[in-house]
Homo-oligomer: A and B are copies of this chain.
Amino acid sequence: MSARKKATAKKAGRKAAKKSAKKSGKKAAKKNTRKAAKKAARKSAKKASAKKPAAKKSNPRASAAARKPASRKAQSVFSFGDGRADGRADMKEVLGGKGANLAEMNLLGIPVPPGFTISTEVCADFNKAGGALPRAVKAEIATAIAEVESIMGGRFGDPDNPLLFSVRSGARASMPGMMDTVLNLGLNAETVLGLAARAGERFAYDSYRRFIQMYGDVVLNVPRDRFEMRIDDTKHAKGIDLDTDLDIEDLKRLVRDFLEIAEEQTGRPFPSDPMEQLWGAIGAVFSSWQNQRAQIYRRLHNIPEEWGTAVNVQAMVFGNMGDDCATGVAFTRDPSTGERDFYGEYLTNAQGEDVVAGVRTPQPINDASRTTDTQDLPTLEAEMPKAYRELVRIYKRLEKHYRDMQDIEFTIQQGKLWMLQTRAGKRTSTAAVKIAVDMAKERLISREEALIRVDAASLDKLLHPTLDPEAPRNVIARGLPASPGAAVGVAIFDSERADLRTKAGEKVVLVRIETSAEDIGGMFASEGILTARGGMTSHAAVVARGMGKCCVTGCGALDINYEARSMRVGGVEINEGDLISIDGGTGDVMLGSVPTVTPELGGAFDDLMHWADKSRKIRVRTNADTPEDARIARDFGAEGIGLCRTEHMFFEPDRILRVREMILAKNVEERAKPLGRLLQMQRQDFVEIFRAMDALPVTVRLLDPPLHEFLPQTEAAIKELAEDLGTQVAKVRASLASLHEFNPMLGHRGCRLGVTFPDIYRMQVRAIAEAACIVDLEGVAVTPEIMIPLVSHEDELKRLRAETEAVIDEVRSQYPGSKVKPAIGTMIEVPRACIVADVIAEHADFFSFGTNDLTQMGYALSRDDSGKFLPEYVDAGILEDDPFVSIDEEGIGALVQMGAAKGRSTRPRLKLGICGEHGGDPKSVKFFARVGLDYVSCSPFRVPAARLAAAQAAIEEAGA
């Protein structure tokens, strides 16, 4: 496997390079998505294979006679070969992915080396029995071997015409951590002579050498380098460089040496009995299900231990028997771009492992597969036209049958084509969209299937600029890929300076130990954010994702010195103003400037989004705090603003002083002046936002964070503030002390500020109402919704609603002719609010679930602190997902469900939405759709993902 992956990766790079020579315009974008493909592929490996088989229906061409009756309970071994098979594609649970597809290909009449699959159910029995194969299974295997022998003509262990086997694992889900393959099984001192007589001595002993080496490594656990060193010694002694320069005597001696090494390491002679070899290989596959790597992999990918793995035993076919032999891999469409090109590479006279060695450059199978590196090499199409035509016929058949892009493996032995594997091919996000849309247009799949096929979470990545994958990278550290995209700029270590330098025209990467609300301005000004502490859900990560900015967090290797305005990473010292680059997709931190590329969203993307909008029922809004955000989000298809956080406006440099003046005021009278100034500023913001959203609803949340978040924390900043306001440092410090809270999350914030400082909320309501009237009178429709946060008791909302209505009435009387009537609702983010949602609903026109805080309080998890133990929790398997990324359905989700049901029990038409980070997480969006919410709201760049997830939810529900 790993051989093929590496090959594919290399090739992707080469191909991209070649293509770029032709189409220079799209060059960078394509290269970039190519490279990303590998990552995505690795990540989605499990997901893809865990999905239901694409071909659910039985194949009409496979005759009924070809299938055995479904007495599966007793059957442990499933034969296939020569157009017949006991299994089929939808039996992955029993046969594993590889075995099921081998059976299916047989049924399709595609040439597959005959063999048999030992079912996953045997795996559990085997491990329970302490590593023993049941007698009945052994008998079934013997029968199956006989069937293969009758097809192939040779016999397993026959010294004259030996049949050799490959043995491969194959679980329901692909598991790279497990034992993989043993080739050439069945060779020993006698059978090697028979093979030599038929295929040549050199081929026979080379195969024997390879077998001992693989079996020794995989089954007997002999350290791999013991064999490799012996080969190196031999080459060194002879003064040669290549394996192919070894002569027959060398190979024979190596065989003898390898047998000795194996005996020395295991204390027992290397097994010469082919059946003993076979039991050993089968046992090794089953045991590998329990090895540590497999266990870790299963835990990380939520694969149940009960699943077990199957074992596939197949007759060997050889791509290395001569120049009329070859081995290769191919994709039925371009896995990087999704274009409808048959795409692959191969080597003549080679076995798969030769590709790993990297000595020979694989050749393109056709002209479409050429890259700059391979433009002069002959193609399979040219070298073996007959086999190529057969391969084309087969790939088309497979794609049509499986109704998806396939990743196939083949071997050509003496001109005859054998298929070794087919499976759904991994692809980049770009390719996934293109392939799904094309296939729907080709009527291969329905539009609904196309929508389901694309991983909604991957869309996010399509929208962000990324680093040019071809450009050299001087990676100096790696953190967590907290928000996708890329950023290049000068390193700046504090937010105010970041803002200044940006205004001076520079591109800035803000570098902080960790960020807090004070850094919002600097983050907003910067290209990207890099922090030394904090996880995927730290302040920096969440805010950056909200802003659609690239962010790398938790990069522990950074030793940041704020005073010196510099940091050390390993041996490198980076000072303020030095250029750095960060990659939010990988977490890489690089010295210097790496060029970036912006992906283009093609017509396929637009088609898919268009179809999604027709399918979905739940609406998608955006969280946007500025007119600019609002415009971006509309372009991404947002149907309104679900959360406009007024306090984010407060952090802008020209406003924060007024805000601080307001906070430090001793009473209502002193607060009046700064509030008046803020009123003007906020009103102008809302005017622009309302204009940008033109009739679409805009939910504005009144002030939420505790006031101390707006005050400076450092001594210097405190001093400066005191000077700016003409007051004493001691007074500012006293204010800070009196506002300090032990648990600000549970403190004096949200509507509690509205109750204790009614003038602040009144100012905000006035700004919203006046802006709405102004825009309304301009002839632009406005749909303002005023949201009161952190309500835990119905009386809070009752009281604040009355005050809000009073201000609105007053404003309306000042703008005669305006018919603006803002809705008034609340954020449901306190657990208690869910429980008493029925009484709260009496005073609310709408609910918006604030699932971030609901998770923090309901789960007792502080988002800013949980990074200290959440990773251990996920490692230990206590938590499957980070509950801040995907909603915890059974706990916090149940609270949302309760709140929704209780709210609607009072007010059946209550509008229900959700505006936490979860609004952009596809899994969560589906949950919210199931629960019956009217809309989700997420950051602008996640809007397309939410639209797609919403469509998927509707399709899944209709299908359920």
A478 to B858, CA, bound (A): 38
With a cutoff of 8 Å between Cβ atoms, the chain B residues found around residue A744 in the complex are 742-743, 862, 865
Chain B, residue nearest A864 (CB): B742
Q: In residues 729-766 of chain A, which contact B (Cβ within 8 Å)?
A: 741-748, 750, 752, 755-756
Verify if A872 is at the interface (C-beta below 8 Å from B).
yes
Give the residue of B745, B755, B839 whose beta carbon is less than 8 angstroms from that of A746.
B745
With a CB–CB cut-off of 8 A, which chain B residues contact A862? 741-747
Chain A residues 393-432 with CB under 8 Å of chain B are: none
The answer to whether A746 and B891 touch (CB under 8 A), given A755-B869, A793-B878, A795-B877, is no
Annotate A844-882 by CB proximity to B: 1 below 8 A, 0 otherwise: 000000000100111111101110110011001111000
Give which listed residue, B856, B865, B894, B895, contacts A741 with CB less than 8 A. B865
Taking the closest CB of chain B, its distance from the CB of A860, in whole angstroms, is: 4
| Structural contact, A872 and B756, CB atoms closer than 8 A | yes
| B832 near A872: Cβ-Cβ < 8 Å | no
B747 and A865 within 8 A (CB):
yes
Q: State the CA gap A868–B707 with chains docked (Å).
A: 12
Which residues of chain B have C-beta atoms less than 8 A from A527's C-beta? none
Tell me the residues in window 523-565 of chain A with beta carbons closer than 8 Å to chain B beta carbons. Answer: none
Q: Name the residue on B nearest A750 (C-beta).
A: B860
CB pair A865 B742 closer than 8 Å: yes
Complex: chain B residue closest to A893, CB-CB: B835
- Chain B residues closer than 8 Å to A795, beta-carbon distance: 877-879
When the two chains form their complex, are residues A832 and B746 in contact, meaning their CB atoms are under 8 A apart?
no
Residue of B nearest to A834 (CB): B831
Task: Please tell me if the beta carbons of A836 and B741 are within 8 angstroms of each other in the complex.
Answer: no
The 0/1 profile, CB within 8 Å of B marked 1, for residues 883-924 of chain A is 000001011101100000000000000000000000000000
Q: How far is the CA of A879 from the CA of B832 in the complex (A)?
A: 14
Query: Which residues of the other chain, B, contact A755 by a CB distance below 8 angstroms?
Result: 869, 872-873, 876, 878
Query: A830 near B: Cβ within 8 Å?
Result: yes
Distance in angstroms from A893 CB to nearest chain B CB is 9
Given contacts A835-B895, A872-B756, A891-B835, contact A860 B793 (CB under 8 A): no
A790 at the interface (CB under 8 A from B): yes
Report yes or no: B792 in contact with A746, Cβ–Cβ below 8 A: no
Is B747 touching A866 in the complex (CB atoms < 8 A)?
A: yes
Give the chain B neighbours of A792 by CB distance below 8 A: 859-861, 891
* Cα separation A856 to B858 with both chains bound (whole Å): 10
**Chain B CB within 8 A of A260 CB:** no
> Copies per complex?
2
Residues of B within 8 Å of A799, CB to CB, are: 876, 878
Given contacts A745-B743, A746-B857, A790-B860, are A832 and B891 in contact (CB under 8 A)? yes
Most buried by B among A745, A831, A869, A890: A831
User: Hey, which chain B residues are within 8 Å of A750, CB to CB?
Assistant: 860
List the B side residues contacting A878 at CB < 8 Å.
755, 793, 795-796, 799
Docked complex Cα distance between A830 and B872 (Å): 20
Q: Assess whether B869 is in contact with A746, with CB atoms less than 8 Å apart.
A: no
From B866, B873, B877, B888, give the contact of A832 (CB < 8 A).
B888
Nearest B residue to A891, CB-CB: B832
Q: Which residues of B contact A745 (CB under 8 A)?
A: 742-743, 745-746, 860, 862
Q: Is B835 a contact partner of A868 (Cβ separation < 8 A)?
A: no
Instruction: Tell whether, in the assembled complex, residue B864 and residue A743 are in contact, meaning their CB atoms are under 8 Å apart.
Output: yes
CA distance A546 to B799 in the complex (A): 36
Instruction: Verify A892–B832 contact, CB threshold 8 A.
Output: yes
Query: Would you call A746 and B748 a contact (CB within 8 A)?
Result: no
Residues in B with CB closer than 8 Å to A879 are 793, 795
In the complex, what residues of B have CB within 8 A of residue A866's CB?
Answer: 746-748
Distance in angstroms from A195 CB to nearest chain B CB is 54
Residues in B with CB closer than 8 Å to A856 are: 743, 746
Contact A859 B832 (CB under 8 A): yes
A690 to B408, CA, bound (A): 70
Complex interface: chain B residues within 8 A of A877 (CB):
795
Shortest distance between the CB of A385 and any CB in chain B (Å): 60
In the bound complex, residues from chain B placing their C-beta under 8 Å from that of A876 are 755, 799
The answer to whether A830 and B860 touch across the interface, beta carbons within 8 angstroms, is yes
Q: In the complex, what residue of chain B is closest to A747 when comparing beta carbons?
A: B865
- Is there contact, CB below 8 Å, between B830 and A865? no
Cross-interface CB contact of A865 among B748, B793, B831, B891, cutoff 8 Å: B748
Identify 12 residue pairs between A and B in the complex whose beta-carbon atoms are under 8 Å apart, listed by A's number. Answer: A741-B865, A742-B745, A743-B744, A747-B865, A747-B868, A792-B861, A793-B878, A793-B879, A830-B858, A835-B891, A853-B860, A857-B858
9 nearest A-B residue pairs (beta carbon): A743-B862, A746-B862, A832-B891, A831-B831, A742-B864, A795-B878, A830-B860, A747-B865, A741-B865
Extra contacts, 15 of them, besides A832-B888, A832-B892 (Cβ < 8 A), are A741-B862, A742-B862, A743-B744, A745-B745, A746-B746, A746-B860, A746-B866, A747-B865, A755-B872, A793-B878, A793-B879, A831-B858, A835-B894, A836-B890, A857-B858
Chain A residues in contact with chain B, CB under 8 A? 741-748, 750, 752, 755-756, 790, 792-793, 795-796, 799, 829-832, 835-836, 839, 853, 856-862, 864-866, 868-869, 872-873, 876-879, 888, 890-892, 894-895
